[in-house]
A and B are shown apart, each in its own frame.
Chain A
Amino acid sequence: QKEVEQNSGPLSVPEGAIASLNCTYSDRGSQSFFWYRQYSGKSPELIMSIYSNGDKEDGRFTAQLNKASQYVSLLIRDSQPSDSATYLCAVREGGGADGLTFGKGTHLIIQP
């Protein structure tokens, strides 16, 4: 049974600070990792994808992957109130196009 674990939160961060979201996964064979943002009542929106160990930066977002520790994280710099949402970690076993296994998400609140 593949599992993706996230702290459900809420995680409260002051505006302008760095928000750090964490995710662990059980399947050591996992190859592809994704972060989605979901506002209440809306659909998931892809934020970042990462496939190899290390950091990947895109604007205010940085994804970090450590396959040895089976750990993936998302950092949001200069947090804005509009970043308040649920962040979903998703994992794919292979390197192809199979379906994703999602964590339950972390609810992030950015305090103005």
Chain B
Amino acid sequence: NAGVMQNPRHLVRRRGQEARLRCSPMKGHSHVYWYRQLPEEGLKFMVYLQKENIIDESGMPKERFSAEFPKEGPSILRIQQVVRGDSAAYFCASSPGGSDTEAFFGQGTRLTVV
């Protein structure tokens, strides 16, 4: 009974490169959320997706960041032309949806931009 799976666990990118973070939700979960946690900061909501739909991207930076959750395969958070300020832990959570739903987190991807 696998939980939320994220990969890679650690990712190092040079400034200007692209970062791709993957998230496979728990079995039976169709709702995916991405959060970012900067050092000594709280978790910040970025985007909420269901299969093939972005439901809420109000927390996503307007430039360089995008997310998708295709019909087949994991959800992808993509960061283009990374900068040092993008260095953070990126967490994915999933939920089954519905009323009063609980969300469960993956292990996170620690992105370091050098």
Show the binding face of A for B, using Cβ within 8 Å: 31-32, 34, 36, 42-46, 49, 51, 88, 90, 95-105
Contacts and interface: CB of A to CB of B under 8 A. Distances in A.
B69 interface: no
B42 A98 contact: no
Given A43-B91, A43-B108, A102 B101 contact: no
A99 B105 contact: no
Interface residues of B, number: 27
10 contacts: A45-B105, A46-B105, A95-B99, A96-B98, A97-B48, A97-B95, A97-B101, A99-B56, A101-B45, A102-B42
Instruction: Determine chain A's interface SS by DSSP, over half rule.
Output: loop
A49 B102 contact: yes
Given A43-B91, A43-B108, A105-B42, A100 B100 contact: no
B42 A88 contact: yes
A43 B47 CA distance: 18
A46 B95 CA distance: 12
